């Protein structure tokens, strides 16, 4: 059985966004248990030149919905980047998953033969869709999900690899 572009994208995004939502719930619970203002965690970053947790979640959501929309040939839905709290970040993930749920396998069927055009730092980049998915969209998505995990873990939230992988 071959692996379709749909199978390698939409279900992967949905699963990992669920894991990210669980990680954020642990972050919120940790802030409450330790009497830490939640925005200390949502505004935390690993290094001064890196984005804070809120932006990591926003970019992960944008990467997932942008990839799925481009592969399906539909418009990428926009979400303003205004989240500052754990509940707002959860709502962003929920909205992204709701969009992903609208993408059906038949919309992505045949995407292997299409090209994807992206605007990256002011210039256009054209990639074959399989290269876009495997070498750009998925690595970018995983980077931001992992970085969100790392920020919370670095700030004392009781997380482990199983939380990131969603296996227990």
Instruction: Provide the pairing of β-strand 123-128 with 115-120.
Output: antiparallel
- Residues 20/60, Cβ–Cβ less than 8 Å: yes
Instruction: Work out the percent of the chain whose per-residue pLDDT is above 70.
Output: 99
pLDDT of residue 113: 85
Q: pLDDT by residue (tens digit) across 112-137? A: 888 999 888 889 999 999 999 999 99
Domain boundaries, the chain: 10-165
Q: pLDDT by residue (tens digit) across 37-76? A: 999 999 999 999 999 999 999 999 999 999 999 999 999 9
> Could you please report the per-residue DSSP string of the chain?
-PPPTTTTTHHHHHHHHHHHHHHHHHHHHHHHHTT--HHHHHT--SSTTS--HHHHHHHHHHHHHHHHHHHHT-PPPP--S---SHHHHHHHHHHHHHHHHH--HHHHTTGGG-EEEEEETTEEEEEEHHHIIIIIIHHHHHHHHHHHHHHHHHTT----HHHHHT--
pTM equals 0.95
Asked whether the predicted pLDDT for residue 1 surpasses 70, the reply is no
Asked whether the predicted pLDDT for residue 147 surpasses 90, the reply is yes
Residue recorded with tokens 């990256």? 120
Question: What is the mean predicted confidence (pLDDT) over 80-103?
Answer: 98
pLDDT of residue 6: 96
pLDDT of residue 97: 98
pLDDT of residue 107: 95
- Residues 157/27, Cβ–Cβ less than 8 Å: yes
Top-tier CATH class for 10-165: mainly alpha
């Amino acid at each position: 059985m071959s692996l379709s572009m749909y199978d390698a994208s939409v279900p992967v995004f949905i699963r990992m966004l669920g894991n990210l939502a669980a990680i954020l719930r642990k972050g919120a619970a940790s802030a409450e248990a330790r009497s830490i203002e939640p925005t200390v965690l949502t505004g935390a970053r690993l290094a001064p030149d890196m984005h804070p947790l809120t932006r990591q979640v926003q970019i992960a959501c944008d990467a997932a919905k942008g990839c799925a929309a481009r592969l399906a040939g539909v418009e990428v839905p926009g979400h303003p980047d205004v989240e500052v709290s754990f509940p707002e970040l959860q709502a962003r993930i929920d909205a992204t998953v709701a969009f992903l749920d609208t993408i059906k396998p038949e919309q992505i069927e045949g995407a292997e033969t299409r090209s994807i055009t992206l605007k990256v730092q002011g210039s256009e980049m054209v990639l074959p869709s399989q290269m876009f998915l495997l070498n750009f969209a998925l690595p970018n998505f995983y980077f931001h999900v992992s970085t969100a995990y790392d920020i919370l873990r670095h700030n004392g939230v009781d997380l482990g690899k199983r939380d990131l992988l969603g296996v227990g």
